[in-house]
Each structure stands twice: as structure tokens, then as C-alpha cells.
Amino acid sequence: MPDARAPRHIALAGADNFRDLGGYRAGSGAVAWGRLYRSGHLGRLTSEDVARVARLGLRTVCDLRSPSERADQASRLPPPPPTVIELPVDVPALDPGRVRRQLLGGGFPAGAIAATVRDSYRAYVTDFAAPFAGVLRTVADRGRLPALIHCNGGKDRTGFAAMLVLLALGVPRETIVEDYLLTNHCTRWSTRRRAWLVYLASRLKVRPGEMRGLLEARVPYLEAAFAAMVAGYGSVEAYLRDALGVTDELRTRLRAALLE
């Protein structure tokens, strides 16, 4: 199991954004290492990757992908496989197949990609309380840990879910933003490569700078989510309580399960 001296990023050949959420301070405690992880999809793990993930001892996987995403990239899970809880967060505007067709057809005008991602973060708040509440209830159960939260790229839906868990635990917002932006460090080489591949495949219509708006974690995306929470519920705390059911009892269970 990772400890405080271990790197947060778990290097895998087939997944470049697999991270441990341990070590973050939350009041008088800290998130325990080796209990909660975040990543992108696990469909391209090598045999060596699967063996390394097996050593984490995962009991539960919260899969935020849509049914079509799961069919397109079936997870490679170590034996005995952890329990997979399907909690789909399916934002049509960011469906991978649809986005791929728009990109290759040059269907995104300048600035539209980043605007679409911002809109998706607002939709997480307004339209997808049920799956994100499911994540919180799952990781509050000590018997389901260690657990992994993942989506397709491990950036947006996973980043939002990780943010909610850390908020509920009392991790400072500045630290949460730092964890969110760590995606950019973990995926910097794949982001550069994918941006240029799309630039060429789109016949130079989608410039790398535009494509990075889809591939990078950016603070304005999180800010759009926070603004939607305040607009809809009056405050972030009220959103956690009224939309996601983060009662005092659930918060106590989360802290007991995840803090040390």
C-alpha cells in the first residue's frame, strides 16, 4: 500500500492518470493512503498494469461512464475482480463518439470546446446528483474500501466526484483545486500527442490550443460547478446537504472510512 513517502501518481503503461487521494489534510486528520483512488478507464491496461492494480487490493470500482463508453472500452480488472458499481454520468454533448465526429468534421468553432466542458460541469450539479451521491455513499462504507472512482479520461466526471468527496471530508478548497489540476501533470505527454493527432486528423481545423480545452483540467470548469451550486442551492454546503444527502451522519461515516 502507498504511504506518505510514496508518489501519488501510480505509473501504469495503459492509464496515465491513476492516482491515490491519500495524504490530504482534513481538519485534524488526513485522508488515508491506499483507501481511495481515481483514474481514467482501465480498458488499455497491460498485464503488468493489471498485476500492479491487483496489489492495491481494490474491493470496489465506481464507474461513471455511460453504457456505450463501457461497451467501447471494457475494463481490465485484476482477479478476483472488485465489485463494479455503475453510476453513469452521461452528458450528451461530451459523448466520446459525438465529440470525435465533431472534431474530425471541424464542428467546433473557436472557444466552443471549452464552453462545452464548462456547461458539462454545470450539468453535473443540476442533472446528476443521484450518481454523485452514490459515489459518496459507496466510499463512506469502510467495507467497500479500497475503492476506485473512474470515468473515461479521469479528468472531468472523476475530478468532480473526487472534489465532492474531499469537500465532504473537510479538505480545503485550495488543496482540492491542486488535486484537480494534477491531472495536467500526469497527462501532459498524452495531451500533447492527442492534440496534435486531432489537428492532423481534422485537416488542420482543430488547433492544438483548442483541443487542450477538452483534454486539460482548468480552474474555470470547477468555478462553473461551484457557481451552479450557489445559484441552485444558496451555497456549496447546501448543495452537499440538500442535493447529495451529506448529512452529519454520512459525513461522520465518510471521515471514519477515509481519514486517519
> 85-113 pLDDT, tens per residue?
999 999 988 877 777 777 777 667 767 88
Does residue 1 have a pLDDT over 50?
Answer: no
Residues 107, 118: Cα–Cα separation, whole Å:
18
Q: Residue 83 pairs with which residues in a beta bridge?
A: 60
| pLDDT greater at residue 214 or residue 156 | 156
Residue type, 100: R
Is 151 among the catalytic positions?
Answer: yes
| pLDDT greater at residue 120 or residue 102 | 120
- The pairing of strands 19-20 and 36-39 is antiparallel
Does residue 205 have a pLDDT over 80?
Answer: no
- At 16 the pLDDT is 87
Among the CATH numbers 3.40.50.2020, 3.90.190.10, 3.40.50.1820, 3.10.20.600, which is that of 19-258? 3.90.190.10
Q: How many CB atoms lie within 10 A of CB 101?
A: 11
Domain ranges of the chain: 19-258
Contact status, residue 39 vs residue 64, Cβ threshold 8 Å: no
- At 5 the pLDDT is 38
**Element at 192 (helix H, strand E):** helix 188-201
Q: What is the mean pLDDT of residues 229-246?
A: 98
Which of the residue ranges 13-27, 52-66, 185-199, 219-233 would you say has the lowest mean pLDDT?
Answer: 185-199
Average pLDDT, the chain: 91
Q: What is the mean pLDDT of residues 31-44?
A: 96
> Which member of 151, 206, 246, 257 is catalytic?
151
| pLDDT greater at residue 212 or residue 242 | 242
Residues 61, 150: Cα–Cα separation, whole Å:
8
- At 70 the pLDDT is 94
- At 4 the pLDDT is 37
In the chain, what percentage of residues exceed pLDDT 90?
73
- At 189 the pLDDT is 81
- Which are the contacts of 9, defined by CB distance < 8 A and separation ≥ 6? 18, 19, 182, 185, 186
Does residue 251 have a pLDDT over 60?
Answer: yes
Nearest to 91 by CA among 48, 133, 123: 123
- At 250 the pLDDT is 98
- At 203 the pLDDT is 66
